[in-house]
Amino acid sequence: MISVIMPFYKKYDEFVFSFERYNFAQFNKQKNLELVIVCDDPSETDLLCIYLEGFVARQKVNIKIKVIVNENQHAWRAPTKAINVGVKNAHYDKFLVMSPETLIIDGSVDAIASRCNVSTFAIGILKFDDIASVNRGASLQQHFHSLNKTISAYGSICFTREQADKVGGYNESWEVWGGDDDDFRHRLQLAGYKKSATLAKFIHVQMQARHEYNASKDKERHSKGKVLKYKVDAITNNKNYLANDGCFGNDFDKVYFEHACRESALASLQ
């Protein structure tokens, strides 16, 4: 049983590509999986919910799907509040956090979830690629292994509700691009949890340039100095694992869409 937490800020095109072409099949083969999409902006909410309504009407969907929306429009910000909202409102007690544009290689949900337990959080292997290259590839598994790219653990963490509660969730005061996942992993280890590296595999797809809010390189360039300074401070000086004074995930909670699979609906009536 696992809840996939997906922070979403103006990523409709990316979500549809990854979900319909690759990720839904991986989610749907799981016995108990919930997808929690946390829209940190209302601008694409209607479009997303209309798409999901149509999708569940024409497909056999065995997973739960929930869309939670921040009704207050704002400029881009780090996804920490959105992730925490997803954790707080999720049905299950084990979480896989991933981006809308991340593709899951076959078997990777099980690979990362099976290594996450009361004492251990798990990380996978992430590679970056562009959409044109992915579309040219044969199988996604073969394409992943053919990529001569730097690998990363970013965007591929699985942890439990108890672990998130212990460290106060993701740091909601984080303001810059990048580093929020480093901070979370570091604090989990400070709290005494072990890190388990797994063979779960993911590809983070770089879509074509769209708008200023989607320009990751610009966000990285503008915040790089702050991120590097914080990372150094966190690793060398920070001995406190608790963030947000232990209170997190309360920024918004409006549910715009919810789908319960037939099996779940029948169970609730018994």
DSSP secondary structure letters along 150-204: --B-TT-EEEEHHHHHHHTSS-TT--SSS-HHHHHHHHHHHTTPEEEEEEEEEEE
18 located within any domain: yes
For residue 208, the model assigns a pLDDT of: 57
Q: What is the mean pLDDT of residues 140-156?
A: 74
Q: Has residue 266 got a pLDDT over 80?
A: no
Give the residue with greater pLDDT, 179 vs 153. Answer: 179
More confident position, 231 or 135: 135
Residue 268 falls inside a structural domain: no
**73-87 tens-digit pLDDT:** 998 899 999 999 999
Tell me the pLDDT band of 239, cut-offs 50, 70 and 90.
confident
pLDDT exceeds 90 at position 136: no
Q: Residue 63 domain-assigned?
A: yes
pLDDT of residue 141: 85
pLDDT-derived band of residue 43, with 50, 70 and 90 as boundaries?
A: very high
Residue 270 lies in a domain: no
Residue 254 within a domain: yes
Residue 247's CB is within 10 A of a number of other CB atoms, namely 11
Domains held by the chain: number? 1
Residue 16, domain extent:
2-263
CATH number at residue 85: 3.90.550.10
**Domain contains 182:** yes
CB 69 within 8 A of CB 45: yes
Show the tokens assigned to 147: 């990529």
269 in a structural domain: no
The pTM for the full model equals 0.88
Which residue's entry shows tokens 């251990």?
120
pLDDT for 149 beyond 70: no
- What is the C-alpha separation between 136 and 22, in angstroms, rounded? 14
Partners of residue 37 on adjacent β-strands: 6, 67
- Per-residue model confidence (pLDDT) at position 261: 65
Mean per-residue pLDDT over the chain, rounded: 86
Is 13's pLDDT higher than 50?
A: yes
